[in-house]
Amino acid sequence: MSVTERLIRYCKIHTQSDPNQEEQTPSSARQFDLANLLVQELKQIGIDDAAVDEHCYVYGHLAANTDGNAKTVGFIAHMDTAPDFSGENVQPRIIENFDGNDIVLNSTRTMKMDDFPWMREFKGKRLLVAGGDTLLGADDKAGIAAIMAALEYLYEHPEVPHGPIAVAFTPDEEIGNGTKCFSLEKFRADFAYTMDGDAVSGIADETFNAASARVAFTGFSIHPGEAKDKMINAGSLACRFHAALPAYMTPEHTAGREGFIHLTHMSGATEKAELEYILRDHDSRKLEEKKQLMIKVVDYMNNLIGRNCVEISFRNSYRNMKSVLEEHPEAVSIADQALKNLGITPVNVPIRGGTDGANLSFMGLPCPNLGCGGGNFHGPYEYCVLDELEQSVQVILEIIRLTKEA
């Protein structure tokens, strides 16, 4: 089975995680549909110990076929797709020899190159897109397909020497719980790579530091005809709170290494209201400054009102993995050399987001992130450059070769 055929097969399986069920793992039972299929396929290509646990984590190992003390290299991808847009009934479509012009997805939605100008660089290449009503799911089923294709190649070519290899496919990455029940004891790798990036040339060894904030507003509801000097409108307080935060700190006004405060959800009425935010910054000190800024706005509003009507709470999500990977440079240097050996110029750009590799690195598993050719994730304009997906398989195989020889 080709890597493209694998990707299409996996994309058709509905695996969205459910942010409303994040206390349980997996958050959606449908993720087992793909997990069970992957266990079956792994066993067919020689991964005899492949298994899925009760939390929907798939683990498997390929023993070394040569003598030596090579380290165990791991490859990881997540099975769930983002809850931001529908992932049900995905209809992948291959575009052969892309002409660089707008792509009509369906009667109501067109992928316009003026909106995605970098896509013109894919002219002449093969693209995979969805039908316009769903996301594609290349995030991160392209990573799964690349890992499976590389393992299949080794199964079909036993003459190719390699050291020990570990693989894992995880649930719930898209809702921030991809490593919640990850077992390093079951995985048993010295270092690993999450195959969860975009361009195949990308090596990511730096992520945001991440936190979330919940701001609760308690009002005093009374008939509006008798409200003078009595009513406290929680909804109005929420609006005033958000307006007090600097507009230049929102995602739509930031880029590069600039962090942000992003309003993700709002609800409320006169009696009660709530705002939910995510906070991001590559610099942990600046992330704390953003928290303190929000606390100052809370204090200001409570002092102005004369009572504690506004409360804020924070939850840390993940940390920038750069500090860990600087202490374990081997994983990054091997990936860098693998790309160069294949004639691909490595591009190291800090991720304006996070990967499971961030938490795994702090858990003791150095884990940079590599790309598989996808883009425009989490929405109907998602695509995968199939030429780059095929290259990512070669990158995995070259990493395996270099690890054996290290």
Residues sharing a CB contact under 8 Å with residue 303, sequence separation 6 or more, in sequence order: none
Three-state secondary structure string covering 237-248: HHHHHHHHCCHH
Residues 6+ apart with CB under 8 A from 85: 134, 135, 378, 379, 380
Q: How many C-beta neighbours within 10 Å does residue 202 have?
A: 20
Sign of CA dihedral 369, 56, 157, 391: negative
Q: Is 53 a catalytic residue?
A: no
Q: Does the annotation mark 152 as catalytic? A: no
Of 173, 205, 356, 388, which residue is the catalytic one?
A: 173
**Active-site residue, selected from the candidate residues 41, 80, 140, 388:** 80
For residue 258, the tally of other CB atoms under 10 A from its CB is: 15
Q: Taking every pair of C-alpha atoms in the chain, what is the biggest distance, in angstroms?
A: 85
Catalytic residues, which ones? 80, 173
